[in-house]
Structure formats: C-alpha cells, structure tokens
Amino acid sequence: MNAITSDVQTVHVPLGERAYDILIGPGLIARAGVEIASRLKGRKAAVITDENVAPLYLEALVASLEEAGIVSAAVVLPAGEKTKSFEHLITACDKVLEARVERNDYVIALGGGVIGDLSGFAAGIIRRGVRFVQVPTSLLSQVDSSVGGKTGINSRHGKNLIGVFHQPDLVLADTDVLNTLSEREFRAGYAEVAKYGLIDKPDFFAWLETNWKAVFAGGSARIEAIANSCQAKADVVVADERENGQRALLNLGHTFGHALEAATAYDSSRLVHGEGVSIGMVLAHEFSARMNLASPDDARRVEQHLKAVGLPTRMADIPGELPPAETLMDAIAQDKKVKSGKLTFILTRGIGQSFVADDVPASEVISFLREKHP
C-alpha cells in the first residue's frame, strides 16, 4: 500500500490485464470524475444506485463526472437485499442500454453491496462485458464486496447463486460517506473487517481488539483498517481469482451466515449480512472446537470481541422465530453442495489459522445446529 495523497491510500490489485487500483480516503466522490477519466477511455457512464443513496451522493458524483467530460445517466433502484433479483437486473440492463453505454464506457455502482453485486453482474453481461467502477458507500462494501470481481443476484434457492466474475476497473472508497451510516450498518460492515484478522492475520485481529473504538470514531484508524482489509482481500484474490481453492477462505462465517439470512427471508429488520457473518464466525469457531481442531478459548475470544462492538453472536440474538435446524441445514447444503455426505466449510485451528475443510460430515453439522438452535 502507498499513498497517492497525504490522506488517501491506494491498494493495487495486480491481475495482469484486469489489474486495478482501490483508492481509500476522504473526498473521493468529489474527485471521481478526475480519477476515472485519468484511467479509463470511455466518456459515457450509467450510474446505478438506490433510493437511499441517491439523495445523498448522486448529485455530487454526476457533477464530478460532468466536470471531467463524462456524460452520465442514472438508474435508481429500490434499496434492500430483495433488489438482488432478476426483475431489478433486467431493469438495470435495459436502462444501461437505453443510455447507449458501449463496451469501452462503464457502469458505475454507487451504493452498498447489493448495488455493487447487481451492477457488476449487469456490467459483466451487457454487450458481453462493459467496464465497471465501484463507488462503495457502506463499510461492508468498501472492505469486501467491491473488491474481487464476484457479482450476482439471489435466487429462491439461496444467496448469490446466479452471477459472473467481472473485475472492476477502479474502486473509489470514499471514507467520508461512512459518517452517514447508522451504527447498525457500520457494525455490520465491521464484521467483515474482523474476518480478515480471523482468516490469517492474528496481529490485525489483536490490533482491532485494541483499536476498534478508534476505527468506529473515524480518521486515520478507520482508513488503516479499511486499507488493511482491502489488501488482505486483494492478496487472496490475486492468488485464486475464481475461487478454485484458497479464495474460499473469504467465506469464513458465511456458510452459517447465509443460511441464517435465508432463514429470515433476507428481512433486514431482523438480520443484515454482516450480522449473519458475525454469528457465522462464532459458530465456525465453536464448530471447530467441537471437532477438536481449535481451543474453545478462541471461540470465546471471537465472541467477546464481536459482542463488545455490538454485533449479534448467537442465533438467539436474531429477533423472531427461526425455522428448525433441518431447514438451516438445507440452506447450507445448497450453499456449499454436499458430496457423498460431506460438506466444504471454512474452519479454524485458532485465531488467524483458518483453512478449507472439504470433508466435514453433514451429520456433525446438523447435530451442531440442533445444539445451537435457540
């Protein structure tokens, strides 16, 4: 990582012809036009955003693009996880084509993970692939979904089951926008920050345990946490772009978390993605301890930290009733595919010692879920 200005960090993702930069710092939406125009040839863009983000940042982004000579059209979709559907994908694609965006032009995603995932999918299939710029407006999307090129929508069969790999050409993570997030949204994004420490950076997790209040407060600690998270994800993506092996480590906590999201019908009033990941990471560490792979003390340490920042850590923390353990197990089987009665999970041998386990007995998982079910 190195600075392009005194207050903006850049993380480079070296993927050959698909290489790109992630810029992290304040004021990047106001500079978006300059940054995009200096890197990309196209002079036409479709900005896809949602009804919550548009009133806050769309005007400033469009003005920045205009100043740089980029003509843009806006596509404003409903907010929320349910927007990641075929219906809204078709709407987005039609609007982008109406704007006459060509292959050297670009789709710009202005929003959180939902908008980023859907916009990236649209960019990947329109004209068999147009350029794509991420302007993530949530902590979750800045440290996770905007980086790495995984795009998609949800199906009635599960989350993110329909999509393509389509790397962005640039990511602009404006840290000023995080000041408008609710405490709940920021905490949910922080779960993904903690995840990077738990995967293979125990020193980073320890740093977060000490400095999380400063990260929440903003300033240099926040930029440092985001930059470290983006660098961690970039390293994994470069080593395994299409998730044939080690990139699966980024799913730590997600198998359980996705099942819980499906169990709540993606109702954000009950559970948002980062909250599901928080509970999922605790469950993954507890399950690892159950399988005699790690110490129960590690699971307690993970839970203690996530609980300290205000995140849910137990299924019982989710408002309302959950379906039975067997229903959760069905969602897990769909998410990770059962092969000969065995599942692939991300488990751990301790803090920062996660690994891909592709021989987890389904019988052990269902027994564990019954034990943990409220």
117 is in an annotated binding site: yes
**φ, ψ (nearest 5 deg) of residue 134:** -100, 130
Active site residue 258: yes
Please write down the HEC assignment for all residues of the chain: CEEEECCEEEEEECCHHHCEEEEEECCCCCCHHHHHHCCCCCCEEEEEEECCCHHHHHHHHHHHHHHCCCEEEEEEECCCHHHCCHHHHHHHHHHHHHCCCCCCCEEEEEECHHHHHHHHHHHHHHHHCCEEEEEECCHHHHHHHCCCCECCEEECCEEEEECCECCCCEEEEEHHHHHHCCHHHHHHHHHHHHHHHHHHCHHHHHHHHHHHHHHHHCCHHHHHHHHHHHHHHHHHHHHCCCCCCHHHHHHCCHHHHHHHHHHCCCCCCCCCHHHHHHHHHHHHHHHHHHCCCCCHHHHHHHHHHHHHCCCCCCHHHCCCCCCCHHHHHHHHHHHHCCECCEEEEEEECCCCCEEEEEEEEHHHHHHHHHHHCC
255 is in an annotated binding site: no
Active site residue 150: yes
Candidates 131, 150, 166, 336; catalytic one: 150
Active site residue 43: no
Active site residue 247: yes
Candidates 273, 290, 301, 305; catalytic one: 273
Candidates 160, 251, 261, 301; catalytic one: 251
Active site residue 12: no
Candidates 35, 81, 185, 192; catalytic one: 192
150 is in an annotated binding site: yes
159 is in an annotated binding site: yes
Candidates 166, 195, 222, 247; catalytic one: 247
Candidates 31, 84, 187, 233; catalytic one: 233
- Pairing between β-strand 106-111 and β-strand 131-136 as defined by DSSP bridges: parallel
CB atoms within 10 A of CB 87: 11
Token code pair at residue 128: 């068999």
Candidates 95, 254, 290, 372; catalytic one: 254
Q: In this structure, which amino acid lies at residue 353?
A: Q
114 is in an annotated binding site: yes
254 is in an annotated binding site: yes
Binding residues for Zn(2+): 192, 254, 273
Tell me the catalytic residues. Answer: 128, 150, 192, 233, 243, 247, 251, 254, 258, 273
Binding residues for NAD(+): 113-117, 137-138, 150, 159
Binding residues: 113-117, 137-138, 150, 159, 192, 254, 273
